[in-house]
Structure 1
Amino acid sequence: MSNNGRKNPRLVADDRRRKKTAKPQATQATKSTRRKTAPKRKSGRKAPLVVRLFGGLFGWIFRLIWAATWRITAVVALIVGMAVLYTYSTLPDVREVLDGRARGSVTLRDRDGEVFAWRGDQFGGVVTAETVSPHLKNAVVATEDKRFYRHFGISPRGVAGAVRINLSEGRGPLSGHGGSTITQQTAKLLCLGVKYDKSVWESEQDYVQDCRRGSLWRKAKEAIYALAMEAKYTKNEILSIYLNRAYMGSGAFGAEAAAQRYFGRHAAELNPQQSAILAGLLTAPTRLAPTTNLQRSHDRAATVLRLMYQQGYLSEEEMEAAQNNPAMLSEAAEAQTGGYFADWVMESGPDFFTRDTTEDVLISTTLDQRIQRAAEEALQAVFDEKVKDGSKAQAAIVVMSADGAVRAMVGGRKTKVTGAFNRATMANRQTGSAFKPFVYATALELGYSFNSTVVDEPYCLDIPGSGRWCPENYTRKHYGRVTLADALRRSLNVPAVKVSEAVGREQVRKVASDFGIESSLADGPALALGASESTLLEMTGAYAGILNGGSSVTPYGLVELSLLGEEEPMMGAGGGIGERVIREEAAKELMFMMNQVVMTGTGGRAKLPDREVAGKTGTTQAARDAWFLGFSADYVAGVWMGYDDNSPLQGVTGGGLPAEIWREVMIRVHDGLEPKPLPMLRGQQVATDRDIDPRPQQQPQQQPQRGRGETAVERILRDLLGGGNR
């Protein structure tokens, strides 16, 4: 067949090798295509309807919650920010909030100028975080808020930890541990900026309690205030406010007051041991105060020192050294001298300068701490040695100078007290025979003498409205004619009543009142036997009038009152020697008569081994009160003993335990003092028991002479009656 002139192609075999090479490429492309198209085949499969429904619902809820959450969060953040911004604008300058006391302080100094007591809200002065001892600063941070310099005012970790601890201990989440930062505690001390208003709160205590409330709303406000403080103040400024306003026990507000109160030094001078005690007080200032329980304070300080070591503020050696040598109180803080005296002085001054002062006040007083310790030690010694264990009998002591300056005061057996019932100034008790010197003082002033005589015999008196009254002597015996000196020496009742009736009860009442016994005096004849009530302070002051030669005295403890930083005093002493009551010659005779009471009479147990003293015993009906009051040439002292519930004393008279307490006090008071003679009448003799004629005798009448014997006393008193106690 013709091919139209074209050649047929040459026959060639297939190139199998080349075909084999091309085939894998096609396969690879196919696989690639399959991989790309695979998802399309997978997405084409439909999930079950239920899964799709629940998935869509969950997604919708999540989106709804998220939308609500971020919006609420934004709103809350905006509100909090505005609240913080507003609070920030109300915060005062840091210098204005360092001293937040509502009351001022009162510092009391003894006669030598040494501080012995504090009252009111003590504030030693402004300190800062930079000026206090670094040990104190570190101790406070380690104890109260170890992350203080790292947080922004509140500590979520601290709050969460506190809630966990409270729940584990069975309390509510906000009860007990608070987890508060130092900034939050400072905000609380500032009462969140709310100032005390008398029209809102009934008392300052209610105001403080309201500031310390721990409700959830209160916590929220506290957190906002803390955030504002962090924005307004530096960390050290916040810590400075805290160190100045925190209460540290015993009336001390702030680190400086506490350092001076407990250790007698400035806050800048505190060592680690002292700093640990102050930092430990912040959790429970009243219970942990070293003046309340020093051992408990030391135990807490040891924990603070351990925290300081754990946080790198102390080395292990420093911690152990501090724990092995705990801080001790200053002498003034340890002694706690004159608590009763300090309370009395505070009451004797005007309230606006003492109990209710808003200023810082300094009071110079008459207290002698040596004499105060002598009185306290003497009382303790007698009760330890001569009063049975468990006895509830009480005693009080007053020691003063002849001008009424009170040198010591003990108002009860517990001497380390503040604000306690003061039996020396508050207890009005019957005086018994301790009143008799004023009966004889009246007679001596009217012209009778220590050796004037009176007959001691049975007498009765008809008292209108009360019937017949027949007083008896303590011994139930009568001694016939006796001198006035002997009647006082034996503390005879009938002669005392007869003399009182002879000179006139009104005269006796006037003399006693002029000597300073201001209590209501009895109207009847029992006046002579101490039926009236008086305080130990009044009675001791009246005896001081005898020692100073017959002039009245007003007992006083306040010498000078001034404001802190002011040179001119606001007021001076409110007591001292007043007007003359009896002549000096009469006072000298009375001193002689009272000296015989101690030398040979009922007050023999009060005799001192190296100097002259004079005094008088007193025991009331049924021995409910026992007294001894007397003096040396240097000091006057009074002792009362009894029960607070007015129960009778068992086997106690004024010449017993009270005289022994008085003797122990005066021995200690006069230790190291040169003996001085009493300014009493001398060169005269007193009738002895042998000279007394028990039979009534008619004596020649004589005209009364001042300072001379008057044997006509018997005639004047013959028809008068009386009675009383020893």
Structure 2
Amino acid sequence: MSGNGKKRPPLVADKRYAAKPAAKKTGAPKKTTAKPAARKRKVAPKKAHPSGSMGWFLTPFRWLVRLIWAFTWRVGLVTALIIGGFSFYFAAQMSDIAELVDQRTRGSVTMTDLQGEVFAWRGDQFGGMVTTDTVSPHLHNAVVATEDKRFYRHLGISPRGIASAVRINLREGRGPLSGNGGSTITQQTAKLLCLGVPYDPAKWDSERDYEADCRRTTLWRKAREAVFSVGMEIAYTKEEILTIYLNRAYLGAGSRGFEAAAQRYFGISAAEVNPAQAAMLAGLLTAPSANAPTRNLQRAQDRASIVIGLMEDQGYISESQAREARLNPATLSEAARASSGGFFADWVMASGPEFFTRDTTEDVVIRTTLDQRIQTAAEDALIQVFQNDVREGSEAQAAIVVMSADGAVRAMVGGRNISATGAFNRATQALRQTGSAFKPFIYAAALDLGMSPYDMIDDAPACWTRPGSPQWCPENYDREFVGPVTLVDALATSRNIPAITLSEEVGRGLVSEVANGFGVQGDLAAGPALALGVSESTLLDMTGAFAGILNGGSQVTPYGLTDLRLMGDDTPLMDATGVGIGERIIREEAARQLTWMMTKVVEDGTGRRARIDGWPIAGKTGTTQGSRDAWFIGFTGDYVTGVWMGYDDNSRLSGVTGGGLPATIWRETMLRVLSGRQPTPLPLMIPQQPASTGVLESQGGQAPAQDILNLLDSILTTGN
């Protein structure tokens, strides 16, 4: 079957398996070799772990790191989205800059003296809005160099700054959030804005409490602060943020913002400050109250020197400019340096209308009666006497008031610490017994009834009966009795018995009425001791009462406010109309005769230490029982000056009477006040000496009946 030459058909198996391709022919036949009986399977060698045996140990940690990283970037992404969302929310709530630069709830009071010169500030001062373009470039650069040198390179928060601050705090043993804060200018501005939380009087007792709450540092508040800061960066430009900061920062001495501070300390605008002044202002940001130049100029200058170094290091000023600034440090203006009139300013604030002084929501300017030349004279006199005439270590205090005859107060010293503000004012707040300084009102009442300064009165031992008390038998200061004496001599030598006798004769009620009319306030003693000044009064009221004698017998209301207006307005809201001289208390003739009698106190009596050559002076000394208070109040033709001396705890003065140190302080004050002036005559009347005088005898407080009849006859014939 095979021999027919025909090709056989393929088998089924051949159809199922494809034929192997034919081998390609090559130029030479390949040499074949015998195949091995069995082919071994190759096994790949195991790779060694790159870390050797440690690899198995580190593998779990690598796994943990990968897990942490996977968790961290996801949490970070979510956190970033949350922060971003809140930041955009805060950004959308931001107000216009003009509404943020001045959000004080308290206004300010600026006080000017008699010549219109500023001498005192109270409340929160805001000098007006400034911008980064209007302030001095040196001030702009000083703030950035001191507070945030990366200000223009971050987005509101500085992780590097925060980490550095935490490291410093921990190294110094403080908590991570205590001390250095690492805050950027943006964060500080956010804090000044209280993170957008407005002041609510119903929630906080005062703005100070509100600000203290805003400054609290907690983790939650720092987180909110960071978010709010980023929101500010979204809403405002860098220059706008810095503008808010320049206007809102507190810089000591009641100054809010750099414009107010520049005016307060240097008397110039923030646009005019030089590098040294800019450095001092920027240096206040860390501790405004402690570094305020009005409190410690040297400390402020030392801090400014550090700021100058920062400005130089960061290229804001040259080496020569830095050297010049250090050689010529910033100093206070004359007004800021004087720091006088603090007690006077406090009195004006306390006595003025509350809604324009203590609780003002406006910026107010008050023109006052203060004369800074006289104020300086009083302060210098007090300092000199205490340095030269008072034993070292003494805690005795003194107060001085100088006023014109109409009650306009020209100077006030409320204690030995003349630069104090908000301190206890012994001129206006200390109620003290007046002692013999009260006696002129007894003689004023007698003269007003028609008695003569030459009338006689008996200085003899006497006793008075007081209801519910044993008999009272007072003595004179020198424990002697001189017998019959004229009224003028009795006043000049400050005899107690004649004063009591006269008070009883004219009537205590009339004496009290005259004293109250002249301005001695309060309830006066009801018994015969009224004549010895056992009632209490302030130095201001007593000085005002003596001013009533000088002006001819009319009531005086001491005042310090001349007019009050809102800052920027020319029309006063109130003025001194209606204050000063009031109704008449005694006849002018009686007042002029009393003035003459009081000149004898200085010329020949207990007030001789107050004499000033060439000047006619009237006055009266006063020393209380137990020598706990010593007074001298006197006047020239132009000014009435009162001096009080004593201890705050009412201790006994050692060897001090009204005619001693108080009279010396008075003289030293008036020597300075009157320097270079021509003597001014006193408005006095010298009475004619009568041909005969009656003697008022003091026998148990009763005068003989004939003497009483003679006195009444004298009163009736004079038409009084």
Q: 2:632 aligns with which of 618, 628, 631?
A: 628
Q: 1:336 aligns with which of 310, 335, 339?
A: 339
C-alpha distance in 1 between matches for 2:411 and 2:336: 18
Q: Which residue is 2:651 aligned to?
A: 647
Which amino acid in the other structure matches residue 45 of structure 1? K
C-alpha distance in 1 between matches for 2:251 and 2:711: 74
Tell whether the 8 Å contact from 1:159 to 1:179 is kept in structure 2 after alignment. Answer: yes
Aligned pairs for 1:464-483 (under 5 A) are 464-483=467-486
C-alpha distance in 1 between matches for 2:715 and 2:682: 21
Shift of the alpha carbon at 1:352? 1.2
Q: 1:43 to 1:409 in 2, by over 3 A?
A: farther
Tell whether the 8 Å contact from 2:415 to 2:425 is kept in structure 1 after alignment. Answer: yes
C-alpha distance in 2 between matches for 1:702 and 1:193: 80
Tell whether the 8 Å contact from 1:338 to 1:409 is kept in structure 2 after alignment. Answer: yes
Q: Which residue is 2:235 aligned to?
A: 232
Aligned pairs for 1:361-400 (under 5 A) are 361-400=364-403
Q: Which residue is 1:524 aligned to?
A: 527
Q: 1:303 to 1:704 in 2, by over 3 A?
A: farther
Q: Which residue is 2:145 aligned to?
A: 142
Tell whether the 8 Å contact from 2:453 to 2:687 is kept in structure 1 after alignment. Answer: no
1:540 aligns with 2:543: yes
Which amino acid in the other structure matches residue 182 of structure 1? I
1:488 aligns with 2:503: no
Q: 1:435 to 1:76 in 2, by over 3 A?
A: same
Q: 1:270 to 1:43 in 2, by over 3 A?
A: farther
C-alpha distance in 1 between matches for 2:148 and 2:634: 60
C-alpha distance in 2 between matches for 1:142 and 1:709: 84
Shift of the alpha carbon at 1:709? 10
Q: Secondary structure at the match of 1:301?
A: helix
Deviations 1:2-37 (A, max 9, x none): xxxxxxxxxxxxxxxxxxxx9xxx9xxxxxxxxxxx
Which amino acid in the other structure matches residue 254 of structure 1? G
Tell whether the 8 Å contact from 1:448 to 1:707 is kept in structure 2 after alignment. Answer: no
Q: Which residue is 1:304 aligned to?
A: 307
Deviations 1:607-634 (A, max 9, x none): 1112101000000001000000010000
Q: 2:462 aligns with which of 447, 459, 481?
A: 459
Deviations 1:671-701 (A, max 9, x none): 12221111101364699xxx99999998794
Q: Which residue is 1:191 aligned to?
A: 194
Tell whether the 8 Å contact from 1:135 to 1:271 is kept in structure 2 after alignment. Answer: yes
Q: 1:583 to 1:56 in 2, by over 3 A?
A: closer
Q: Which residue is 1:14 aligned to?
A: none
The percent identity for this pair of structures is 64
Aligned pairs for 1:110-121 (under 5 A) are 110-121=113-124
Q: Which residue is 2:319 aligned to?
A: 316
Aligned pairs for 1:117-128 (under 5 A) are 117-128=120-131
Shift of the alpha carbon at 1:202? 3.2
Question: Which blocks of at least 5 consecutive residues in structure 2 are unaligned?
Answer: 1-26, 31-40
C-alpha distance in 2 between matches for 1:702 and 1:205: 66
Tell whether the 8 Å contact from 1:562 to 1:568 is kept in structure 2 after alignment. Answer: yes
C-alpha distance in 1 between matches for 2:55 and 2:569: 87
Q: 1:54 to 1:166 in 2, by over 3 A?
A: closer
Q: 1:580 aligns with which of 575, 581, 584?
A: 584
Comparing 386-395 with 68-77, which one deviates more in the overlay?
A: 68-77
Q: Which residue is 1:669 aligned to?
A: 673
Q: Secondary structure at the match of 2:208?
A: helix
Shift of the alpha carbon at 1:213? 1.2
Shift of the alpha carbon at 1:362? 0.5
Comparing 507-516 with 58-67, which one deviates more in the overlay?
A: 58-67
Q: 1:51 to 1:320 in 2, by over 3 A?
A: closer
Q: Which residue is 1:245 aligned to?
A: 248
Shift of the alpha carbon at 1:56? 7.5
Q: Which residue is 2:10 aligned to?
A: none
Which amino acid in the other structure matches residue 662 of structure 2? P
Deviations 1:119-152 (A, max 9, x none): 0001111001110011111111111111111111
C-alpha distance in 2 between matches for 1:627 and 1:707: 37
1:350 aligns with 2:353: yes
C-alpha distance in 2 between matches for 1:538 and 1:51: 95
C-alpha distance in 2 between matches for 1:438 and 1:693: 20
Tell whether the 8 Å contact from 1:443 to 1:499 is kept in structure 2 after alignment. Answer: yes
Aligned pairs for 1:685-724 (under 5 A) are 701=710, 704-705=713-714
1:411 aligns with 2:410: no
Q: How many residues align?
A: 671
- Aligned CA RMSD, in angstroms, stands at 2.6
Q: 1:615 aligns with which of 611, 616, 619?
A: 619
Deviations 1:394-428 (A, max 9, x none): 00000000000000000001101100000000000
C-alpha distance in 1 between matches for 2:549 and 2:69: 94
Shift of the alpha carbon at 1:667? 1.1
Shift of the alpha carbon at 1:58? 6.1
Q: 1:439 to 1:75 in 2, by over 3 A?
A: same
Q: Which residue is 1:45 aligned to?
A: 46
Tell whether the 8 Å contact from 1:452 to 1:709 is kept in structure 2 after alignment. Answer: no
Q: Which residue is 1:571 aligned to?
A: 574
C-alpha distance in 2 between matches for 1:702 and 1:169: 87
Q: 1:384 to 1:50 in 2, by over 3 A?
A: closer
C-alpha distance in 1 between matches for 2:54 and 2:329: 73
C-alpha distance in 2 between matches for 1:602 and 1:672: 27
Shift of the alpha carbon at 1:45? 3.4
Q: Which residue is 1:161 aligned to?
A: 164
Q: 1:65 to 1:41 in 2, by over 3 A?
A: farther
Shift of the alpha carbon at 1:67? 3.4
Q: Which residue is 1:277 aligned to?
A: 280
In the superposition, the TM-score normalised over structure 2's length comes to 0.89
Q: Secondary structure at the match of 1:268?
A: coil
Q: Secondary structure at the match of 2:298?
A: helix
Shift of the alpha carbon at 1:568? 2.0
Which amino acid in the other structure matches residue 244 of structure 1? N
Q: Secondary structure at the match of 1:179?
A: coil
Tell whether the 8 Å contact from 2:436 to 2:621 is kept in structure 1 after alignment. Answer: yes
Tell whether the 8 Å contact from 2:458 to 2:697 is kept in structure 1 after alignment. Answer: no
Q: 1:426 aligns with which of 412, 424, 429?
A: 429
Q: 1:702 to 1:291 in 2, by over 3 A?
A: closer
C-alpha distance in 1 between matches for 2:91 and 2:595: 75
Tell whether the 8 Å contact from 2:284 to 2:292 is kept in structure 1 after alignment. Answer: yes
Q: Which residue is 1:175 aligned to?
A: 178
Q: Which residue is 2:21 aligned to?
A: none
Tell whether the 8 Å contact from 2:436 to 2:622 is kept in structure 1 after alignment. Answer: yes
Shift of the alpha carbon at 1:204? 2.4
C-alpha distance in 2 between matches for 1:708 and 1:472: 35
Deviations 1:515-574 (A, max 9, x none): 011122111110011010000000000000000000001000011111112222121126
C-alpha distance in 2 between matches for 1:72 and 1:473: 93
Question: Which blocks of at least 5 consecutive residues in structure 1 are unaligned?
Answer: 1-21, 27-39, 711-726
Comparing 669-678 with 582-591, which one deviates more in the overlay?
A: 669-678
1:216 aligns with 2:214: no
Q: Which residue is 1:11 aligned to?
A: none
Q: 1:523 to 1:310 in 2, by over 3 A?
A: same
Deviations 1:45-98 (A, max 9, x none): 377999998788666655543432232122111111111011111111111100
C-alpha distance in 2 between matches for 1:607 and 1:319: 56
Q: 1:580 to 1:526 in 2, by over 3 A?
A: same
Comparing 87-96 with 68-77, which one deviates more in the overlay?
A: 68-77
Q: 1:50 to 1:281 in 2, by over 3 A?
A: closer
C-alpha distance in 2 between matches for 1:409 and 1:359: 27
